[in-house]
Structure formats: structure tokens, C-alpha cells
Structure 1
């Protein structure tokens, strides 16, 4: 295999690896568990003088495939709201089944792709704080008897507020005391009048953004710092965890989280009809824990509880992406602008990788210089491949050239690219963050297409500066098409990532220009020395 072929294979493999993880088509929207309409009629209970809601359920489907009870049924209906929690950042509602039925983010920068306020709780499926009893008769009654609340509306703008929900069944009373805070988290305490076996649900993940290479599903983080992620569509059977620090159901930027469990709490993950994970835990007669529903913003999570920062996942590249985000956040503290912080981060990465990239550029220059001699040897020993390879390797050794010198540095940079890619893709901080001029949201694609075009143009110019020794015209043509291919993919990428790649190209151009100039100066000096020696001999 010739050096040209090796280089071409390296490039093609890089592109294929890139394409495999960055499919431009968003994942198919998965429908939630079928929900059925219920008729709710408010009635007056003459015996206790309280207002209640009688729920007439015509049909209820299985919510999840529980092994505990194959006939388990959960009412998933648009029930009436009994408590509204307000703040200038969000509106949260509790329904008659004692669940968090909805949470709407009021800040425009968190709007969904239709530019509507983000709704963090899906309309169907299990919802946070839903209780399911092991006893089927008790559970059926619990789905029919509504909760009552001590207040109808509260504001957490200035201070935390407490809500008490009460459900009175035939032989059991359930009390939920929930303290809500302005930062989006809450403290919950569930008490039963009698000891019954029951389970509390985390709820389904938010379904706001589902972009390329985004991990979606559930996370279990244990006290031994092990992260278990069960992606949508991959849930299989039942898994039980203990020693759990937090559980999370998440999409790209937001999550429903519960934490603060006792070490012996059993966390259970099962699957729904779409093989998506359903997370719940087995609770005690008196159970206390905490929760958070909102954006995975690092500073907010850290301020609530540092353990919550582990809910920000980066997939396989966490080992590299996590420290890169810390560095990016530190740079933001200096520049106060996420766009310029990305530029500074790119510069730092280029400086760190400079010895590697410089070595690769020098190797490619040497390969270009000796390529005519390689062609002569190939023509000379055309009928004897063994002698030809030996002669070519001796030529490489004589001139200090490495046929893989230009490929390996490029391949070794791929993990760095994907690490920074995961940082910029998962950083909710980039939502609504502007850089300058037309770039007003680094988390979204550039609707003007200016940044992707600049990226493609810079990549093309970088290729013009980069020496190559292609012998196959077809390989050279394919290589020249790479800027167009990359531009096509980057059109739909977040502006922050395109900015990184564009700035990275600019630094590569500058570095390549320096290397090219050094070789040019060296050649001129060599020619001058040769002429001087000839004159001296004459």
C-alpha cells in the first residue's frame, strides 16, 4: 500500500467515523404510552365538606411492563390542576393524582424548535411523584380518588414555599409535603398512615430537543461514581440499583432528576412498550428525597448540590469532555462571552497539540519533496515489488520521512474533536448565547449559513496550502470534495461547533503557512549554499 493510499484511507475513515456519529436526520419521534381521556366532575363531599374530583375512566392501558404486576394500570389523563407554582422563570402544576403534571420554562432562550416555551413534562406517560401501590386493589382505588391541597397557588419568586397534598383512601391516608424553590428544585416527604409497599416514579424525560449524536434516556449515578446510561430504545428487562446518588431522565439540555436517597433505597429501571427506560424507586412508610426539573446548567446544579453536576453526561468522551467544559467555563469567566471563550479554547487546544500537528506537517512536506524520487523508484522496479518497497523505505529513512507521519496526527485529533463536540452540543449555557454580528444563538444552526460557508472556505484554503503527494487523480479529486462534504454536514450543526471548527481551520492555516515558509527558507538557503560552494570550487 502506497503512502498516498494510506493517507486517503485515513481521510475516508475519518469522514466515515464523523458521519456515523453525526447523522443529519433527527431520530424518529417516539410516541408516549397511549393515554385515554377521562371525564372529571367536581363534586361536593357532604360528609367532610371538602371538594373532590370523581374520575370516570373508560379505559386505561398498561403503562409499563412490570413483572411485579402484569395487570398494573396507570391513569394517564389530562387531570385537573390543584396547585400552580409560579416564578418569573417557570410555571409548575400539580394534578389530582399528586403528580407534577407540567413545568413550563418562561425564558425565551430555552424555547423549543418551534419557538414556543419549553414544556419539560411530556403530556403522556408516568409523571414525577406518581405513586403506585403493589396491592392491585389499593392501587386501583388510588387512581380514582383525587388528592386535595392546602393551597391552590403559590409563588416562589422570593422565598421557598411548601405545599401539602393529601389523599384519603378507604384504609389509608397519603400525605405529600413538597417544598419548592426558585432555582427549580424541590424537597419532598411522603408519609403513609399505614405501612404499605409502594413505588414512586421519576417520570419520563423531557422531549424538547433530539439532535444528532445526542444521548437520550435515563441515568443512574451511584456512590462508587459509576454512571449507567440506558438510552431510549435500549431498555431490556428489569435492573435494580442500590447506593444511588441520583436518577435522571434527560434529553439534550434538560432533565428530570431525583436525589438524596437513603443508601439502601432500591432504584428500579424497566421498559415501556417502546423499550424506553422507566425509572422508579421502592419507598418507605416515611420517605424523604429531593428533585429537580429543569435545564442541565452547571452552575445551577452545582449550587443546589454538587452531585447533580454528574447529570451532565458526555457519553464515551466524558473523560475528556468534562475537563474541557471546566476550561471553557473558566474562560467564560474571563471573557464574559461564550463565543470568544470558544475561540480561546480552540487556541489553547491548538497550542497543546502544536508539537503533534507540526510534526505531521513537516512529515507531509518531506513526503512531497521526495515524491518525484519515489515515482522514479516505482518506475525503475515496476516488475519487482519487493525491491521497489525496499528502495522506497531506504529513501524514506535517508530523508527522515515517515509515510504515516501525516496520517497519524490527523487521526489522533479525532477524539479531541469529538470531545469538544460533545461539550458544545451538551452545554445548555450556549442556548441564547450570542457571539457577535449575526451569530445570536450558539446552540442553534446559523440560519444565514455564513458561518458554515466560512468554515468550508477556510478548509478549502487549508487544503491548498497543505502539501500532498497524490499519484491517483481520482483520490485527489475526492480529497478536494471534502470541504464541500463537511460544509454540507456543518450547515445543521450548532453555531458554537461550527465556530470552533472555523477558528481551528484558521489556526491550521497559520501554522501551515509557517511550516511552508520554513521549508521555503531552508530550500533557498540550501540552494544559496550550493551555489556558494560551486563558486568556491571554481
Structure 2
């Protein structure tokens, strides 16, 4: 099989895959964001922030007419807004990640309201949990309106006393340099009866905001991990169709977007129930509940969970929970992508530039594949040498395809030529290319990463289309170095316009991917020249 045909098949397969991804996005259920709403009973967990519960502290706090009170917490890497109604984190900004390249506004991961609404909610349900009260969510007290991290850790305590004598102190623990927040519930039973509470943690998000593109097919939706399923995605369409309910020991629940992940993580030994739910107004949530806990009169119990809201840092995620690093979704080729990513990261540590690291990893991969490449080109050269004999056989046997096929295989055996020799090597290289593709698409390290000259963001397309055009030129040169003997005029036209088609598609690819393909083509050209010289010395043209 000729290399041009192989590249065409690869290109067609890739474009078909990307078109299929985009079709899924375009045909996903669409929703419209309605006004803020509230639900009764346990659905109070997903109610809007404008609802103030009736309770023993209601007279001591602001009324609904003046708005519910919030507090803000600022560390060196995040800034959060906590709603005292329920103690939910309703806004979280990533201070070290800009929203736009060279912009001053931080990236908003959790958003308080509107079409991008995204909240991290946690609390206590159960028979005596304050969040299960028909009166609504508990309204906590705080000793200050703003908190700022000055040391290595910062604790932000909120308190609530229910009418039936359950005192809850909900404490948020922030750590310098970390995107994780420890959330601890110290529950004291001040009554004369046993109380039952149950911790829940959930992520509520407006589902209509999911976005992707054919050239950047990224996932936006929910995911979870259990002791049976290491990593499972549940997109917003699946949640709208059917709610999931399952039991696990340990695990986590998360909402994922392109470069960032928000996850609630219980302890690894905790028994939890994971579920999803579609809410009115196009909102969706994924939650977990812990086991019910009994608290004797006068006793105190502590329940806790961990919230991670930040970039898809594989090392940090793997350290926080088993399989959480799989949210950096490399697909079925993850076992190839992960080593390639670590190699890319190692190279970046040496040179300090992600673009240069991409060039180096391309050189390494192409160097390791040189033996297969040489075998491929040598096999195709031998096949071209046999073209006159194959034509003679075809003329001899005419329409008798069986005899022609037998004679052709006998010729291959006699000349010691493997007809698949030009195809198999490139099939080995295909997984490497796809694995690198997902590394470049999924790695937050490449977001806003500069290379050189006009390439200021390797995760975005080339603003002047220089790299795609150079890539097309390199493909044209490769065609000239490796001409195809195909006589069919239609196929000849297809191969002739391949560089043009690829250039067109690559106009919208992230520049990091185009840089990889361009460098790969340049190395292939050099290898072709070297291999062709070696082949000619053996008497093959």
C-alpha cells in the first residue's frame, strides 16, 4: 500500500471522527435558562439563593427582601464566594489562570448565576439534618464578611443551630497553593434524643453551556468513579434521559470542562451513594451521599468531604483520589498518552518552552519509528519494481481474478515481497499520532502557552495560518518524493489535492497540533531522502 493512500485513510478517519464528535454536540438536547426557581422538600438542595429558611436564627439575619448574605475568601490561587444560605460555594475564580490570553480577569470556574451557573453545594440531610428541613436550607452565621489567607492554611467556620437542638459548625479549610478545599461538619447534639444526619455533596450546573468544536472535540459534563467503575462519564443529555443511582465504597463525583475539573471526594473507605438528577430550567446535578450517622445526646460527630476546583493537573489529581487523574481524558489510548505526556513535561522542564518540547518529542517519536518507516518505504519500492510484472499478469489472465490472484501471490513469494509491508508500519504509527493528539488537546499546560514569534497560544489556531500552509507545502513535497503509481485518474486527483484538503482542515487546529504535524512531515522528508539513497544502492528505484 502506498504511503499517500495511507495518509489519506488516516486523514479521512480523523476528519470522520471529528465530524461525528461535532454531530453529537450539535444534536445534544438544548435547554433555555428560565428565571431562578426553588423546589420543596429534599429538592431544597437545589433551590435558588434568594430563598431564606425559617428557623431559630431567622430573626437575627437579613430578610429575603434585602438579599442573602455572602462572604468572600481569597487565597493565593483562588477567590471564592460562599452563600451563608446553605454554606454553598457559588462562585470560584482561579487567580493564576486568566480568562483570556494576556487578560487581567481570572478564569471563573464556579459561577453564581445566569447561563453559566455552577455551584458546589454540601450539607447535612437525614432525619435531623438541617438541609432536610421543610423550612429550607440552613442560614449560617459567620464572624466576618471577608477572609484572606496569610499563613499556610485558613479556616473559615460557619455555625447554625436548628430548632431541635442540632448545632452545626461547617468549616472550610483553604491551603496555600492548593485548589482543594476541605469541608468539615462538626455536629453537636444538644438535645436529649438521638439525632440522625447524613452528609451530601453535589455539583449543580447549567447544562446548556456545553461547547465544543470539530477541531477541538472536548467533553463538558458530569463524571464519577466507584470501586467498580474507575471512570465513567455521564453527559447532560444522559442525565436528562435517566438518573443514575449506585452504591460504592470510596470514589468521587465531578463536573468536567476542557482544561478544568470540579470534584467532591469522600474518604476512600466511606460508603457512598452516587446519583444524578435533571432539574427544571435545564440544570443538572451529580451528587453523593454518605452513610447516615447517629449522634447521641451531648455527643459530637465529625463528617467531612474534599472539594477540588481547578486545573486538570494529573499529579495533583492522582494524589487526591484514585482515578481522578482520568478526568484528563485521553480516551482508549490513555496508556500511550500518559507516558507521552510525562515525556513532554520532562522535555519542557529541560527547555522551558512547550513549543520546543513539542518539536523535541516529535523528533524522538519519529526517531524511534525510523526502523518501521524504512521498512515501509523499502517494501513500497519493491512493490513499484513489480508493477510491470503485475501488469503483465493482469493482461495474461484477463478477467480470471482467481488465477490472477494466485499468480500475484506466487510472484510476491518468489520475489520475497510482503504486500502489507507498506501498510503495517503506518498502522503502528497511527496510535502514536492519536495519543499525541489527545495529549495536546487535553493538557492544561498548553493553555495560553507561548512558543515563538506570532504563536502566543499553542492551544489556539495559528492567527496568520502560517503553520497550516507550511504543513500543506511539506505534504506536497512528500508527494513528490514518494510518487504513486496509481493509474486511475479519479484517485490521482484525490491524492493531488490531499495537501490542499489537509491545509484547509488544519487552519482551525490548535497551533501546537499543527506544529507537531509540520515537524513530523519535515522529519519524514529527511528520512525519505536518506532511505531513498539507501534503496537506490540496492538497485531499487
The normalised TM-score by structure 2 is 0.81
2-side partners of 1:42 and 1:248: how far apart? 28
Aligned to 1:429: 445
Aligned to 1:186: 181
Aligned to 1:15: 11
Q: CA deviation at 1:265?
A: 2.2
Matched-pair contact (CA < 8 Å) for 1:174–1:191: yes
Q: 2:100 aligns with which of 111, 116, 120?
A: 111
2-side partners of 1:238 and 1:42: how far apart? 30
Q: Kindly tell me: are residues 403 and 299 of structure 1, through their superposed partners in 2, closer, same or farther at Cα, counting changes over 3 Å?
A: same
Alignment of 1:296-445 (within 5 A): 296-301=312-317, 308-445=324-461
SS at match of 1:523: coil
Provide the aligned length of Structure 1 versus Structure 2. 499
Greater shift, 120-129 or 31-40, is seen at 31-40
2-side partners of 1:44 and 1:411: how far apart? 66
Matched-pair contact (CA < 8 Å) for 1:199–1:282: yes
Aligned to 1:279: 287
2-side partners of 1:374 and 1:516: how far apart? 23
Contiguous gaps of at least 5 residues in structure 1: 57-77, 527-538
Matched-pair contact (CA < 8 Å) for 2:205–2:283: no
Aligned to 1:246: 252
Q: Kindly tell me: are residues 156 and 493 of structure 1, through their superposed partners in 2, closer, same or farther at Cα, counting changes over 3 Å?
A: farther
Matched-pair contact (CA < 8 Å) for 2:131–2:138: no
Q: CA deviation at 1:323?
A: 1.3
Q: Kindly tell me: are residues 275 and 230 of structure 1, through their superposed partners in 2, closer, same or farther at Cα, counting changes over 3 Å?
A: farther
2-side partners of 1:43 and 1:315: how far apart? 45
Q: Does 1:52 align with 2:52?
A: no
Q: CA deviation at 1:288?
A: 1.5
Q: 1:255 aligns with which of 236, 261, 278?
A: 261
Q: Does 1:237 align with 2:243?
A: yes
Contiguous gaps of at least 5 residues in structure 2: 38-47, 190-194, 294-301
| Structure ranking higher on relative contact order (CA contacts 8 Å, 6+ apart) | 2
Matched-pair contact (CA < 8 Å) for 1:470–1:476: yes
Alignment of 1:149-160 (within 5 A): 149-156=142-149, 158-160=151-153
Aligned to 1:100: 89
SS at match of 1:53: coil
Q: Kindly tell me: are residues 196 and 31 of structure 1, through their superposed partners in 2, closer, same or farther at Cα, counting changes over 3 Å?
A: farther
Matched-pair contact (CA < 8 Å) for 2:52–2:137: no
2-side partners of 1:101 and 1:179: how far apart? 16
The normalised TM-score by structure 1 is 0.81
Aligned alpha-carbon RMSD (Å) = 3.6
2-side partners of 1:266 and 1:32: how far apart? 32
Q: Kindly tell me: are residues 205 and 314 of structure 1, through their superposed partners in 2, closer, same or farther at Cα, counting changes over 3 Å?
A: farther
Q: CA deviation at 1:372?
A: 2.4
Q: Kindly tell me: are residues 300 and 138 of structure 1, through their superposed partners in 2, closer, same or farther at Cα, counting changes over 3 Å?
A: closer
Q: CA deviation at 1:247?
A: 3.0
Q: Kindly tell me: are residues 126 and 115 of structure 1, through their superposed partners in 2, closer, same or farther at Cα, counting changes over 3 Å?
A: closer
